[in-house]
Structure 1
Amino acid sequence: MQHLLRLAEDQRLRVVERSGPTLGGFDPATSTIRLSPGMRVRTARSVLAHELGHAHLGHGPATTSAIRAQQERQADEWAASRLISPRAYAEAELLRGPHLASLAFELDVTIELVLAYQRLLRQGAVPVAAA
């Protein structure tokens, strides 16, 4: 979590804990990432990485639901590629099998980020760990 907070600081982003309609949010106008209070560490880590993805990718307010869905997918994939290594994923799969919740627990991320990582693997966008 500390490396994510340092990354936010390096990008001159302010991270605040405040309730909202979702677990997190990124406001490009104020360079602020909002995290809902009271989340488990695994969830907070995943949400922060996702919101950092929005910031890194230059996402602004979505004008259509299709653009919003694309931005959410891209932010999840960006976060997954930063929080899950090929080796860790391979080891988690060997230990836990294909069960999404078990993989998420083992990798210390949310199910959404496991799904995003699996999309990246299918696209060949991340290297596969050596056996």
Structure 2
Amino acid sequence: MQSKILKLYEMLDALGVSVEFVDLPPDDDGEYDHDTRVLKVQHDLLFRRYVSTLAHETCHAIYGDVKSKFGPVNAKQERRADEWAALFLIGLDDYRREEGRHDGHVDAMAIALNVTVDLIDAFRRILLRVGDTVYVAPKMGAGEFHARVEVA
């Protein structure tokens, strides 16, 4: 996990984004301001919440997201950030192992994978099972998917 955190900071550095640890409102773990290129993280987060927030907000920085007056636009940005963070932080083999070990119990899987429940839910959203094959992050078109796994 430490190498993934380092990669996130390298990405942010390449984008010219600085990270500040601040006191945010209780319902907000992090935020990205594209105008100032500052990513703010709640200063007292537990490790898995910090990692998940950092990855989520890094996605906003990569895509240059800005808050919109239109709810559906914000919802789409938030969904994309969660899915990007989930793909970045959760390895497919690790997910499969923990899903089996914890019988699909989301809270236990999140703890074992050092991510938030939101990211486990996001990872599940991007799985598509067709017959005996599971596709990760499938898109329209032949061969357009993040990963493909044959299952029984």
Q: TM-score, normalised by structure 2?
A: 0.80
Whether the 8 Å CA contact 1:86–1:128 is kept in 2: the answer is no
Q: Does 1:29 align with 2:35?
A: yes
Instruction: Select the residue among 51, 61, 67 that pairs with 1:55.
Output: 61
Q: Which piece of structure 1 moves more, 62-71 or 28-37?
A: 62-71
Q: Which structure has the bigger radius of gyration?
A: 2
**Percentage of identical aligned residues:** 30
Q: Which residue of 2 aligns with 1:45?
A: 51
Provide the rounded CA distance (Å) in 2 between the counterparts of 1:85 and 1:93.
12
Instruction: Select the residue among 109, 122, 125 that pairs with 1:103.
Output: 109
- Mapping for residues 75-90 of structure 1, pairs under 5 Å: 75-90=81-96
Higher relative contact order (CA 8 A, sep 6+): 1
Instruction: Select the residue among 11, 21, 24 that pairs with 2:15.
Output: 11
Q: Which residue of 1 aligns with 2:122?
A: 116
Unaligned runs of 5+ in 2: 130-134, 138-145
Choose between structure 1 and 2: higher strand proportion.
Answer: 2
Residue 50 of structure 1 and its aligned partner are, at CA, apart by 0.1
Deviations 1:15-68 (A, max 9, x none): 000112311000000111000011111110000000001111221122211111
Choose between structure 1 and 2: higher helix proportion.
Answer: 1
Q: Tell me which amino acid in the other structure corresponds to 1:127.
A: A
Q: Does 1:70 align with 2:90?
A: no
Residue 129 of structure 1 and its aligned partner are, at CA, apart by 4.6
Residue 128 of structure 1 and its aligned partner are, at CA, apart by 4.6
Provide the rounded CA distance (Å) in 1 between the counterparts of 2:148 and 2:46.
29
Q: Does 1:127 align with 2:127?
A: no
Q: TM-score, normalised by structure 1?
A: 0.92
Provide the rounded CA distance (Å) in 2 between the counterparts of 1:84 and 1:68.
24
Unaligned runs of 5+ in 1: none
SS state at 2:19 partner = strand
